[in-house]
Structure 1
Amino acid sequence: MGHILHDWDLAQKKVLLGKTFDALPKGGAVVVYDAIIDDDRRENTFGLMMSLNMLIETAGGFDYTGEDCQAWMREVGFSKTRVEPLVGPDSMVIGLK
């Protein structure tokens, strides 16, 4: 899911992750990448500005921290999660079923 979740409000983010979990076979993985905000909300200026942009352009979209995304993944059933930085402002969150 590249630059997908930030388009949606919190409830819809969880619905999308839940549907992804349901569609995956046991042992499957999902990779979510976005301009993920650092957990302290102090360093990824691009991610913070993108979140503001999403709030302006969408009905409820916003960017989020790696810990936020991991918590949503665990809530819908993913057993293991981790955050990995990518080049530039993006990071990925990986969830394993």
Structure 2
Amino acid sequence: MAWRYEIDKYISDPRADSTEDILEWWKRHECIFPNLAAMAKDFLATPASSAPVERQFSRAALSLTKTRNRLGDNSVRSLLCLKSWMANEDIKDLF
């Protein structure tokens, strides 16, 4: 239920200024939205090593089958991101 509260609060809060650095915004609001901030960092940050990239290529290979070979870039990105989040034990109850 903490997730639902966090999402509801995020949706009802005023939007960040469009000129503001979004990573800085998430850093400042991490104590209010800890789970969403972690997801935002995953989505917005560049990995420091190639290991996460290799893991993503492996996940992509398992996700892009013959029947899914026409998925667009955004769909593939969204699918891989959701799979990664669903693997997180802390948020499995959302899915």
Q: Which range, TM-score by smaller chain?
A: under 0.3
Higher strand residue share: 1
Higher helix residue share: 2
TM-score by length of 1: 0.23
Determine which structure has more spread, i.e. the larger CA radius of gyration: 2
TM-score by length of 2: 0.23
